[in-house]
Amino acid sequence: MDKHPRTNTIKLHRYLASLTLLSASLTAAARCWQDDGLTQIMWGVARQHFSTLLASMPRVEICSPEHFPNSQIGGQYVFGNRIIQVPTYGVNRDDLTNVLAHELGHAEAERRGIDDRSLQGHGVGWMRVMIEAGLGHEAQRVAGYLPGAAHALQLAQRQGNNSKQFADAGKAAFKCIAQVQLFVSDSKGQRIETYEIPGCIPR
Ligand SMILES: [Zn+2]
C-alpha cells in the first residue's frame, strides 16, 4: 500500500502539466528548411568575397522565427555543422546579402581553423577574415555595437598592416634596380655616367 497517495497525485498532476507544456512547445517548434533561391544568393556572395569557400560551401536554410533568440537577429552560423540559418522575416530584408556575407565570414574562419569563439565568434580572427574579404564595413558595424569588438577590430587592422609591411619588405628585397648608362657631354667634358633607377629592364 502506498503511504503517500497525496504526494503521488501531485507528482502525476505535475507530470501531466509538463506533458501539456511539451506538446504546446512542439506545436510552436522551430522548423528549418532549404530554399534554392536563398542558396543561389549565398553562392553569389561567396563568389564575390569568399572564393576559398566555394569548394566546401556551408548549407543555408530558412528557419521559423522561434528558432532565434530575438527578432533582431538577421542570421546565424552553426559552428561544427556548417549551417547558415536565416529567419523567415530576414529573407526579404534589404541587408540579406550583408547577413549572408557576415555568416560566410564565420564559415571561412572555421574553414581556416580559427578558434574564434570569443566575442560570440566576432574576435580578431573573424575581423581579419572580413577585412581580407573586402567586408571591413561589416566588421566596423559589429564593432559599433558589440562590447569589446572595437578593440578586436583594431588588432585585426594592425595585423593587416603588419602583413602588408611584410609583403612590401619582401617586394623591396626582390626589387629590380636597373642600371642605365648615359653618355653625358657638358662643360666638364664627355663621359659615361651610371644611374640606378627602380624597375626592371626587359632581357
Ligand atoms: Zn556573427
Q: What is the pLDDT of residue 186?
A: 74
The CA 103 to ligand 1 mean position distance, Å, reads 6
Predicted confidence pLDDT, tens digits, the chain (203 residues): 444 445 455 555 555 455 444 544 544 677 999 999 999 999 999 999 999 999 999 999 999 999 998 888 999 999 999 999 999 999 999 999 999 999 999 999 999 998 677 898 999 999 999 999 999 999 999 999 999 999 999 999 998 877 766 666 555 544 445 555 666 667 777 766 665 555 544 43
Domains of the chain: 32-170 (3.30.2010.10)
How far apart (Å, rounded) are the C-alpha atoms in residues 199 and 178?
Answer: 6
The CA 63 to ligand 1 mean position distance, Å, reads 17
Q: What is the pLDDT of residue 20?
A: 47
The CA 173 to ligand 1 mean position distance, Å, reads 39
How far apart (Å, rounded) are the C-alpha atoms in residues 135 and 172?
Answer: 28
How far apart (Å, rounded) are the C-alpha atoms in residues 33 and 148?
Answer: 34
The CA 128 to ligand 1 mean position distance, Å, reads 13
- Residue 49, SS3 per DSSP: helix
- In the numeric block, which cell numbers belong to residue 174? 626582390
